[in-house]
Amino acid sequence: MESGSAGGSLPSPLDSPFGCPICLDTLKDPVTIPCGHNFCLGCLGAHRHRPGAGAGGGQGAPRCPLCQEPFPADLQLRKNHTLCELLQLRQPPPGARSPMAPPAPPEPGEPGGAPQRQEEGVLCDVCPEGERATAAQSCLVCLASFCPPHLQPHLRSPAFQGHRLVPPLRRIEDSLCKLHLRPLESFCRTDQACICQLCQGQQHRSHEVVAVEVEREHKEAQRPKILSCVEDQLDELGVTVAQTRKTVELIKSAALKEKEKVSRLFDEASRALVTFQKEVTGFIEDGERSMLLEAEEDLRQKEERRAKLAQCRQNLERVPSTDTIYFLQEFQALKIAAEEKSSLCPSFQKELSFTKSSQAVCAVKELLVTGCKNQWDQLLGKGYEESGFHGMQEAVAEPQPSDKSNNPACLETRDYFLKFAFIIDLDSDTADKFLQLFGTKGAKRVLNPIGYPESPTRFINCEQVLGENLMNRGNYYWEVEIIDGWVSIGVIAEDFNPRESYDRGRLGRNEKSCCLQWNGQNYVAWFGGFESVIQQPFFHTIGVYLEYSEKALTFYGVRDAKMTCLQQLKDGEESLLKKVERKRELSRAHFSSHLLKYALEIYNSWNELLSHLCTAAASSPTCLSLIYIAMS
């Protein structure tokens, strides 16, 4: 029987019609089956799908856990709304306690105690709110965790024999199959996924399936190797991140310095244009002033002469007809005034020299526009029809590493080149099978072939590897550290053929690549199959500087931040190949001169022979036939 008011304490779930006989707690989403008993919706739904819930423990119709009366297996479970409303009326307000029960002090692990302790363990889902104890186990059928007292029905009652108990889980729903809402008990090694029993019999029927515990043991055995690999990757990524950060800072610093330099140069150019404008304007003003003075003086003289002539003419017209002497005097004065000539030439008939100023300024403007367009195209890498490094040529015929006048970049320090620092990642799809790669750290030769996957860009006849990034615009600088052995460093065109033979596929042995090689004794520059020995000491660090817009590649020896130019290959100058061909032409010309000299000697001999034959021609017809045969 009920006792007390709505705000009083609730009776025990076992003694109340509002308790669930399965979970021994107050009903949650109550449902009523045909026999009249009430259960939680989740508890009853899990119970009727549990194996052995039918009559006699078989697979027949499910039975009520209390009276064992069967009910349809396909019965649609609906919430009892009337019972839900009664439960809401009997439910105490959140946080309210029984008036008779004194407030309990908060304990560790409960609300009001240390909050960090609550997160350490899984709490029981059956205990009242505010008094939840630590769970001992979780049930994958009930989808709840239970403390030792509330776990007893699962341990004693036959109705819970089919429930699976596991160590406490914080999120039980993650341990269920999303498709069938069944416990994930197996692991499919084919699909590398946790599955339930229904999944194993359907989608994963022909796959390799093991228990999750077996797979965990297998994964635990692999964990040290995986962790070691992860540590190596973390170390490598740490180095790469540091290098990339340094590159970012270098890019920002170089861009800032370049913008300041460009701004300064534009200011200087603007000042030069302003100065030129002032000079041209001054030139026009000076020309105007000097010519204007001459023109104004000429105007004054002509106006005075005109006024004088007009006065003389007027005086002559006013002379009376009877005054002969006065007439003669005025006539003579008019004649003299008419015969006078101006001392200055009319300056306006001369060419105005300052009118050519606009032509000069127009020419400067055209030069400026053309120069700006050409330089902009050069910055964008336009104007070069050849792609890759075809036509890369050597700056000098003989090695002249100390000649810095031909290469202004040699005068710069290492800090200058670091502005163009470029990190090269080695492309494993191009590496020969006898090369082992270490990411950005480098590569080394191994005796046993590595099982790289098949790739159309992989070298098969040469122990070579390429970088992943293409360099098709701007300037690039990278450094290579030589530890020991035979090492070649260079560039190759994009349309290379990795299937070339050993003699043609190596760097520098064809027209599409060039390189610097250390053979253990000295450096050798290779291009187009021709070599050029470089007399320089050994450098552990080699710097490579590529100026794509200039089609120039320079190799440096780096030591103590100092740069030593070893060799420069540059387009637009005579190549090593052309020099060799020129030597061959010189050899042919020399050989031809010997042949010509020999032919002249033969000709002279023939002339002597013919002269002797002509002397004897009159006396012997036989000699005439010999002369004919010789001349024919």
pLDDT tens-digit readout, 305-326: 899 889 988 888 888 888 888 8
Identity of the highest mean pLDDT range in 68-77, 380-389, 433-442, 541-550: 541-550
Q: What is the pLDDT of residues 4-27, one digit of tens each?
A: 334 434 444 444 667 888 887 888
Cα separation, 347 vs 254, in Å, equals 60
Q: Are residues 424 and 562 in the same domain?
A: yes
**Structure confidence at residue 510 (pLDDT):** 85
Over pLDDT 70: what percentage of the chain?
74
pLDDT category at 177 given cuts 50, 70, 90 is: confident
Cα separation, 32 vs 39, in Å, equals 7
**Structure confidence at residue 497 (pLDDT):** 85
**Structure confidence at residue 486 (pLDDT):** 84
First to last CA, the chain: 151
CATH number, domain containing residue 428: 2.60.120.920
Residue 116 has pLDDT above 70, yes or no: no
Cα separation, 509 vs 528, in Å, equals 5
What's the alpha-carbon Rg for the chain, to the nearest Å?
53
Of 395 and 125, the one with more pLDDT: 125
Beta-bridge mates of residue 26: 19
Q: Are residues 595 and 621 in the same domain?
A: yes
pLDDT category at 627 given cuts 50, 70, 90 is: very low
Residue 118 has pLDDT above 80, yes or no: no
Mean pLDDT of 27-33: 87
- State the total domains in the chain: 4
Which DSSP symbol is given to 7?
Answer: T
**Structure confidence at residue 386 (pLDDT):** 41
**Structure confidence at residue 544 (pLDDT):** 92
**Structure confidence at residue 267 (pLDDT):** 92
Cα separation, 237 vs 225, in Å, equals 18
**Structure confidence at residue 628 (pLDDT):** 33
Least confident of 81-90, 226-235, 450-459: 81-90
Q: What is the pLDDT of residues 519-530, one digit of tens each?
A: 888 899 888 788
Half-sphere exposure of 240 (CA within 13 A, CB side): 15
Cα separation, 22 vs 160, in Å, equals 9
Residues 6+ positions from 183 with CB-CB distance below 8 Å? 140, 141, 164, 175, 176, 177, 196
Of 538, 545, 540, whose CA–CA distance to 413 is shortest? 545
Q: Are residues 486 and 462 in the same domain?
A: yes
pLDDT category at 375 given cuts 50, 70, 90 is: confident
User: Is residue 183 within 8 Å of 164, Cβ to Cβ?
Assistant: yes
Least confident of 114-123, 157-166, 381-390: 381-390
Cα separation, 321 vs 323, in Å, equals 6
Least confident of 225-234, 349-358, 622-631: 622-631
Identity of the highest mean pLDDT range in 5-14, 294-303, 593-602: 294-303
Cα separation, 416 vs 542, in Å, equals 16
Q: Domain limits at 38? A: 1-94
pTM: 0.34
Cα separation, 75 vs 73, in Å, equals 6
> Among the three residues 73, 94, 115, which one is the final residue of a domain in this structure?
94
Of 121, 213, 237, 203, whose CA–CA distance to 169 is shortest? 121
Cα separation, 383 vs 368, in Å, equals 19
Q: Are residues 355 and 489 in the same domain?
A: no
Q: Mean pLDDT over all residues of the chain?
A: 76
Q: Are residues 602 and 562 in the same domain?
A: no
**Structure confidence at residue 323 (pLDDT):** 84
CA torsion, ordered 427, 432, 434, 437, to nearest 10 deg: 0
**Structure confidence at residue 351 (pLDDT):** 57
Q: Are residues 455 and 499 in the same domain?
A: yes
pLDDT category at 340 given cuts 50, 70, 90 is: confident
Residue 604 has pLDDT above 90, yes or no: no
Mean pLDDT of 250-276: 90
**Structure confidence at residue 404 (pLDDT):** 40
pLDDT category at 631 given cuts 50, 70, 90 is: very low
494 assigned to some structural domain: yes
226 assigned to some structural domain: no
14 assigned to some structural domain: yes
Six token digits for residue 11: 């009776």
SS3 491: strand
Mean pLDDT of 159-178: 80
> Among the three residues 542, 561, 580, which one is the final residue of a domain in this structure?
580
231 assigned to some structural domain: no
**Structure confidence at residue 555 (pLDDT):** 92
Q: Are residues 327 and 444 in the same domain?
A: no
Q: Are residues 364 and 416 in the same domain?
A: no
**Structure confidence at residue 629 (pLDDT):** 34
Residue 448 has pLDDT above 80, yes or no: yes
**Structure confidence at residue 92 (pLDDT):** 56
User: Is residue 498 within 8 Å of 457, Cβ to Cβ?
Assistant: yes
Q: What is the pLDDT of residues 45-63, one digit of tens each?
A: 887 777 655 554 455 678 8
Q: Are residues 568 and 595 in the same domain?
A: no
Q: What is the pLDDT of residues 204-216, one digit of tens each?
A: 988 999 988 888 8
Cα separation, 499 vs 502, in Å, equals 9
117 assigned to some structural domain: no
**Structure confidence at residue 596 (pLDDT):** 54
Of 602 and 171, the one with more pLDDT: 171
Q: Are residues 424 and 533 in the same domain?
A: yes
> Among the three residues 63, 94, 125, which one is the final residue of a domain in this structure?
94
Residue 609 has pLDDT above 60, yes or no: no
Of 578 and 120, the one with more pLDDT: 120
169 assigned to some structural domain: no
Which residue is associated with the tokens 């098709």? Answer: 472
**Structure confidence at residue 347 (pLDDT):** 45
Cα separation, 375 vs 373, in Å, equals 6
SS3 606: helix
59 assigned to some structural domain: yes
pLDDT category at 108 given cuts 50, 70, 90 is: very low
Helix (H) / strand (E) element for 187: namely: strand 186-188
Residue 37 has pLDDT above 70, yes or no: yes
Q: Are residues 535 and 621 in the same domain?
A: no
Least confident of 228-242, 415-429, 535-549, 609-623: 609-623
221 assigned to some structural domain: no
**Structure confidence at residue 23 (pLDDT):** 81
Residue 439 has pLDDT above 90, yes or no: no
Q: Are residues 576 and 530 in the same domain?
A: yes
